[in-house]
Amino acid sequence: MSLAGQLYKLQQVDLELQRKQQELTEVENRLSDNNALVTTESKLVSQEEQLEDARKKQKIAEWELEDLQEKAKQIDSKLYSGTTKDPKELVNLEKEVKVLKNQIRMKEDALLGFMSQVEEIETKVKTTAEALERLRQEWEQRQETLGPRKSEIETVLVKLRGDHDGLAQQIDSEAFNIYEGIRLKKGQAVVKVERGRCLGCHITVPTSQWQKAKAGDLIQCNNCSRILYLE
Ligand SMILES: [Zn+2]
How far, in Å, from the CA of 136 to the mean position of ligand 1? 52
Per-residue pLDDT at 85: 82
Per-residue pLDDT at 78: 87
pLDDT in tens, 95-132: 999 999 999 999 999 999 999 999 999 999 999 999 99
How far, in Å, from the CA of 221 to the mean position of ligand 1? 5
How far, in Å, from the CA of 228 to the mean position of ligand 1? 8
Q: Do residues 200 and 222 make contact, with C-beta atoms less than 8 angstroms apart?
A: no
How far, in Å, from the CA of 196 to the mean position of ligand 1? 11
How far, in Å, from the CA of 183 to the mean position of ligand 1? 13
22-26, 75-79, 159-163, 181-185: least confident range: 75-79
d(CA 52, CA 55): 5
How far, in Å, from the CA of 187 to the mean position of ligand 1? 13
d(CA 45, CA 216): 70
Residue 107, C-beta contacts closer than 8 angstroms, at least 6 positions apart: 61, 64, 65, 68
Average pLDDT over every residue of 194-213: 94
Max Cα–Cα distance, the chain, nearest Å? 132
Per-residue pLDDT at 170: 95
To the nearest whole number, what is the mean pLDDT of the chain? 95
> Residue 26, CB half-sphere, CA atoms under 13 Å: how many?
8
How far, in Å, from the CA of 203 to the mean position of ligand 1? 6
Total residues found in the chain within this entry: 231
How far, in Å, from the CA of 231 to the mean position of ligand 1? 17
pLDDT in tens, 33-73: 999 999 999 999 999 999 999 999 999 999 999 999 999 99
How far, in Å, from the CA of 20 to the mean position of ligand 1? 27
How far, in Å, from the CA of 201 to the mean position of ligand 1? 4
User: What values do phi and psi take at 171, rounded to 5?
Assistant: -95, 135
pLDDT in tens, 140-187: 999 999 999 999 999 999 999 999 999 999 999 999 999 999 999 999
Q: Do residues 185 and 215 make contact, with C-beta atoms less than 8 angstroms apart?
A: no
Per-residue pLDDT at 8: 96
Per-residue pLDDT at 23: 98
How far, in Å, from the CA of 163 to the mean position of ligand 1? 27
Per-residue pLDDT at 69: 96
How far, in Å, from the CA of 220 to the mean position of ligand 1? 8
Per-residue pLDDT at 1: 82
Percent of the chain with pLDDT over 90: 92
SS3 state at 171: coil
SS3 string, 104-140, reads HHHHHHHHHHHHHHHHHHHHHHHHHHHHHHHHHHHHH
How far, in Å, from the CA of 170 to the mean position of ligand 1? 26
Instruction: Label residue 15 by pLDDT band (50, 70, 90).
Output: very high
Task: Check pLDDT > 90 for residue 84.
Answer: no
